Structure 1
Amino acid sequence: MQQLYKLIDAIPESIQGKLIKRNISAGETILYKGEDVQHVYILIKGIVSVSSKFKNGQRYTFAQFGAPSFIGEVESLAEQPIYAANVQAVTPCTTLSMSTSTFWHWLESDTSFSLLMAQLVATKMYPSSNNNGTIKFMSGKQKLLHYLIDQYLPYDKNYFTLTIKKYPISL
């Protein structure tokens, strides 16, 4: 991620003047699923988690990442009107936020930034695409087995703890 640090250090002056620095406390939500996409954030310090809450009340955290990184860039690049997930600070964080129009101006005017953004999004999306492609074609029993293996605590081979809150499983 040295490239990203170099990029942050070389943000064009026309973009720097439009960035808003924000310190965020651990536990604070940076953006909510379903909110209008209005900003893209550069995470310059800290760790965030990405989660989604489902109709049954379950919250599923499917990613956690640290600085340096971007938040909200996928929705903006896909020209989606709403954020797809909640992003919450796990540790104290510092972000630089910009409007989506500023983000797009930067992309259009800086080839190095555009290429790095393409690489960052591809790196972020690849594990999900690879995993989803595998899981979608598994039978119910295979999905359950996959889930149980993921929950297994490798430091104690005699047992594992499985915590489920009244979540119906159909095989």
Structure 2
Amino acid sequence: MKFEDIVNKYPELSQYVSRIPSDLKTAFTLRSYPAGCVIHQKDDALDTIGILLNGTLKVINEFDTGNAYMIEYNHPIDFIGDVTVLAEKCCTSVTIEAVSKCTVIHFSRSDFESWLVQDPELLRILARNVACKLYNSSYRHGTELFYKSPRLLLEFIKSYAEGATPDSEGVYRITETRQQLSEQLGMIQKTLDRTVNRLKEDGLIYLNKGKICFTEKQLSKIRNQIY
């Protein structure tokens, strides 16, 4: 697919690439990632910079203990590797995994850094995006220490729905295991299990083969309960 065809297919991309050097319009790789695919792993050398065109990504910080902390979900248009480039580090600080099927356009790191030098507006956009993520992270930091477990899970469900697409019957299904959820939410699994059962009893979710599911109607109730 030609670069112009990609911009036509994903028009939101145009504001980011209006000043892209002409030679980069033929120096890219377009890739599709299935749900669950790791796009890059923490501590890997960053050789390419990606731009998320569609789908949802989750950003995870993994630790030597085997535990993982879910930092955020990212939606189009978003950059993959921007923090590492701006920090002038060689390796990534987080793991990025596809939540749903994703399409990403990749440029080599050297090409992307050259583009930044020639395009101060893109540099400003990147800095703003990173600052917004830091702002949101700082704003939420400590939530797991002060919110009770039902509120934490409801906040997670609401955030999950913002980046997910319901099935043909209008049902959302959270694919993470209970262990993964407990690590992301910062609560022990027994507490999570009790919280899931409580939300189920309250009619806010239901379970299908052990996975948390909810409808648009239940999501509306969840949003009302949070606010």
Which band: TM-score by shorter chain?
A: 0.7 to 0.9
Aligned AA for 2:70? Answer: T
Q: Distance in 1 between matches of 2:67 and 2:145?
A: 17
Q: Mind listing any 5+ residue stretches in structure 2 that lack a counterpart?
A: 1-10, 156-181, 191-227
Deviation at 1:152, TM superposition (A): 5.5
Deviation at 1:106, TM superposition (A): 0.6
1:6-155 matches, within 5 Å, as 6-8=15-17, 11-132=20-141, 135=142, 144-146=145-147, 148=149, 150-151=151-152, 153=154
Structure 1 pair 117/65, CA: closer, same or farther in 2 (3 Å)?
A: same
Aligned AA for 2:152? Answer: Q
Structure 1 pair 8/55, CA: closer, same or farther in 2 (3 Å)?
A: same
Deviation at 1:131, TM superposition (A): 4.0
> Percent same amino acid among aligned pairs?
29
Contact 2:55 2:75 in 1 (8 A): yes
Q: Deviations over 1:102-135 (max 9, x none)?
A: 1111111112212212211211221123444xx4
Aligned AA for 1:124? Answer: K
Aligned AA for 1:64? Answer: Y
Structure 1 pair 9/111, CA: closer, same or farther in 2 (3 Å)?
A: closer
Q: Distance in 2 between matches of 1:143 and 1:30?
A: 27
Q: Deviations over 1:138-162 (max 9, x none)?
A: xxxx9643364642548xxxxxxx8
Q: Structure 1 residues 54-63 or 94-103, which shifts more?
A: 54-63
Aligned length: 151
- The answer to which structure, 1 or 2, has the higher relative contact order (CA under 8 A, 6+ apart) is 1
What SS class does the counterpart of residue 82 from structure 1 fall into? coil
Q: Distance in 2 between matches of 1:146 and 1:34?
A: 32
Match for residue 164 of structure 1? 188
Q: Deviations over 1:39-90 (max 9, x none)?
A: 1111111110011222332222111011111011101110112111110111
CA RMSD between the two structures:
2.7
Q: Distance in 2 between matches of 1:22 and 1:143?
A: 35
What SS class does the counterpart of residue 125 from structure 1 fall into? helix
Aligned AA for 1:79? Answer: E
Aligned AA for 1:37? Answer: L
Q: Distance in 2 between matches of 1:148 and 1:122?
A: 29
Aligned AA for 1:164? Answer: I
Aligned AA for 2:93? Answer: A
TM (normalized to structure 1)?
Answer: 0.75
What SS class does the counterpart of residue 49 from structure 1 fall into? strand
Aligned AA for 2:94? Answer: A
Deviation beyond 6 Å, 4+ runs, structure 1: none
Contact 2:12 2:77 in 1 (8 A): no
